[in-house]
Chain A
Amino acid sequence: MTNKEWPLYEVFIRSKSGLSHRHAGSIHAADDQLALDAARDTYTRRNEGVSIWVVRSSEIVASDPAETAAFFEPAADKIYRHPTFYEMPEGVENL
């Protein structure tokens, strides 16, 4: 009896070329190759993808939800980054 848990992998799928890979879910697998096979069987039984990435969940570095407000604060007061900030004079076109 093996009591060792298989590592968790996050699965990313490109649904067709031209689109980026998107997180589909996760799976457990003993190694990288088995992770790919399991991801295929679990997440692409109906031709949902043309490419799969799997990455060990432990390798992902993520921002902290508790710090969300502070972390993204620098972008909050820069409304001049949006085109709608600028009012264009009447009669000016194509901008």
Chain B
Amino acid sequence: MYTQGLDQKGQPEGERDARETPQQLAAFQRRIDAEEKIEAKDWMPEAYRRTLIRQISQHAHSEIIGMQPEGNWLTRAPSLQRKAILLAKIQDEAGHGLYLYSAAETLGVSREQMVADLLAGKAKYSSIFNYPTLTWADIGAVGWLVDGAAIMNQIPLCRCSYGPYSRAMVRICKEESFHQRQGYDILVKLCAGTKAQKAMAQDALNRWWWPSLMMFGPSDKDSMHSAQSMAWKIKRFSNDELRQKFIDVTVPQADFLGLKVPDEACVVDDETGHYAHGDIDWQEFIDVISGNGPCNEQRLANRRKAHDDGDWVREAAHAYAGKIAARAAA
């Protein structure tokens, strides 16, 4: 997921490049308004390009870092089947990361550069992956809530104005549904189990509910780039609209499990038919995004180690490719 709109302040990216003429910009906007897709080599405003590079690369990083909270339970999954399912899901996340890095590369940034920025701690990724997965029920909650929030966010992105991003999102959305269902399935089993198992499920919901709501990004009144992204049809719905939609579909699913979302204010408004929600702790969101969440350091350290440990593999593949090429030339 995970188009949280992370760098909200102090970014010059909304500014117009001085070389761009009002005619060019107007022609571009006409294409967007006509629902034409923009393709990689088409003319586009620099600000549009920068916004997409930021959003798509953060999205890609989130998929890659997102493998870690789940990988934490891979060796302790309660059955061989659960282990195989979890492994397949984690492999999907790696695939999603690769689709997205490719989509970002079409905008003129290299994958090496994006990965280097992530490893250097310069790039951001979704806040949600900086929370720990403490019990097996957390794997259920991650699939149900985190992937559920991701789907809510990603379905409108399938209609994003930038062709390569929208095509990657179509592919990803097809695969996410399995992720969410396998998570809910874990919780269905736990909630039909012993008292302790059900309490474990409730505890997971308690810890993941608020961070999941934060996945939709800052409230509309604080979201500085939303209007421009909407005009460019990168974004189709506001953060608050998507968050509301997520709450409305998810609370009845919690009811079915016999679980309760940890928010006293979360009751249906008879007039609107929507669930209300209490105040979100935006300070926590800012802390986690700026590197001070429970697992930020660990996530990046693991990523760096994996990258370094894979160095000899990359080196060997490179040497082998050189040998094959030399033989073919001889």
Chain A residues near B (Cβ < 8 Å): 1-2, 4-6, 8, 25-28, 30-31, 34, 41-42, 45-46, 62, 64-66
Contact = CB atoms under 8 A, between A and B. Distances in A.
B41 A62 contact: yes
Contact of B41 (A8, A41, A64): A64
Interface stretch (B60-68, B140-148, B314-322): B314-322
Given A2-B311, A65-B41, A34 B99 contact: no
Given A34-B317, A42-B95, A45-B91, 10 more contacts: A2-B314, A5-B110, A6-B318, A8-B105, A26-B102, A27-B98, A30-B317, A30-B321, A41-B95, A62-B41
Interface string B98-131: 1100100100001110000000000000000000
A28 B111 contact: yes
B92 interface: yes
B168 interface: yes
Given A8-B105, A62-B41, A65-B41, A45 B315 contact: no
Given A45-B91, A66-B43, A2 B99 contact: no
19 contacts: A1-B311, A5-B111, A6-B314, A8-B105, A25-B167, A25-B168, A25-B171, A30-B318, A30-B320, A31-B317, A31-B320, A34-B317, A34-B321, A45-B88, A45-B91, A45-B92, A45-B95, A65-B39, A65-B41
B279 interface: no
A28 B39 CA distance: 20
A46 B168 CA distance: 16
B82 to A, nearest CB: 19
A5 B112 contact: yes
B281 interface: no
Contacts of A30: 314, 317-318, 320-321
B111 to A, nearest CB: 6
Q: Describe B's contact surface by its main secondary structure.
A: helix
B42 A65 contact: yes
Interface size class of B (residues with CB under 8 A): 20 to 34
Contacts of A25: 99, 102, 167-168, 171
A11 to B, nearest CB: 9
Among A4, A5, A42, A65, residue most surrounded by chain B Cβ atoms (within 10 Å): A42
A66 B43 CA distance: 8
B324 interface: yes
Contacts of A8: 105
B162 to A, nearest CB: 14
Among A6, A62, A64, residue most surrounded by chain B Cβ atoms (within 10 Å): A6
A40 B13 CA distance: 37
Nearest to B174: A46
Given A25-B168, A65-B41, A2 B318 contact: yes
Shortest 7 CB-CB distances between A and B: which pairs? A31-B321, A30-B317, A30-B321, A65-B41, A26-B102, A65-B42, A2-B315
A8 B108 CA distance: 13
A46 B177 CA distance: 13
